[in-house]
Structure 1
C-alpha cells in the first residue's frame, strides 16, 4: 500500500472520506509534519525522504518541481494531481483503488491525474 503526504491546501473532505473508507491508510498532512508554509521543493524533498506520494490540487507548480527532481536523478515517489472541481466521491473511489492496488515505489518518477 502506498504511503501518502497530503498537500497543505488539499480538500479535507477527501482526506476524511479516505480515512472513513480505510482507517488503515498511511496518510499524513503537510501541516501535521511541520511543513506548513514551506515551498514546493521542500515538500517534495520531505516526501522523497519519507517515501510518500504527494496528493495535491496544485497543478500550477508542483508538477514542474516534481519533474525537475526526476531530471536531476533525485528520488520522487510520485505525485497525484487531483482536479479541485472533481466529484469528491469519485476522487475517493479512484484514490482507494490507486492506494490499495499499488506497490510501494510503483509511482516513482510519475505524476498521475485524477479523475482518470
Structure 2
C-alpha cells in the first residue's frame, strides 16, 4: 500500500506507523514538492502515484474527491484520521487498515 500524508498530518502518528511497519511506503506532501498545494493538485498527484491520501481535515477535500470520482478520474482513496483521537489508537487502526488491505 502506497500512502501520502497531508502537510498537517500528525508526525507522531506517521513516526509510530513507520515504527510498526518499517516497510511502509509513505511520503509527505512536503517531501514531494506539494507543500501549500491546493487539494485538486494533491489529489491528482496521489492518483498519478497510486497513493492513498491520509488527512485530518476534510473540509474541502471531500468535494474535490467526489468531483474526481464523478468525472471518472482515478481515485486511490482518502482516509480521514480524526485529529483528536488518541495517537496509539490511531496507529493501531492504521496498522490494521494497512495489513488488511
The bucket for the TM-score relative to the shorter chain is over 0.9
TM-score between the two structures when normalised by the length of structure 1: 0.85
Aligned to 2:9: 10
Runs of 4+ in 1 over 3 A off after TM superposition: none
What displacement does 1:69 show? Answer: 0.4
Distance in 1 of aligned mates of 2:52 and 2:72: 17
Q: How does 1:66-77 map to 2 (within 5 A)?
A: 66-77=65-76
Distance in 2 of aligned mates of 1:37 and 1:57: 15
TM-score between the two structures when normalised by the length of structure 2: 0.97
Distance in 1 of aligned mates of 2:22 and 2:85: 23
Higher helix share: 2
- What is the alpha-carbon root mean square deviation over aligned residues? 0.6
The CA deviation string for residues 43-89 of structure 1, in whole angstroms up to 9 with x for no partner, is 00000000000000112011111111001100010000011101111
Aligned to 1:89: 88
Return 61-70 or 39-48, whichever deviates more: 61-70
Report SS of the residue matched to 1:86. Answer: coil
Aligned to 2:32: 33
Distance in 2 of aligned mates of 1:99 and 1:54: 13
Unaligned runs of 5+ in 1: 103-116
Aligned to 1:110: none
Unaligned runs of 5+ in 2: none
- For these two proteins, the number of residue pairs brought into alignment is 101
2:36 counterpart of 1:44: no
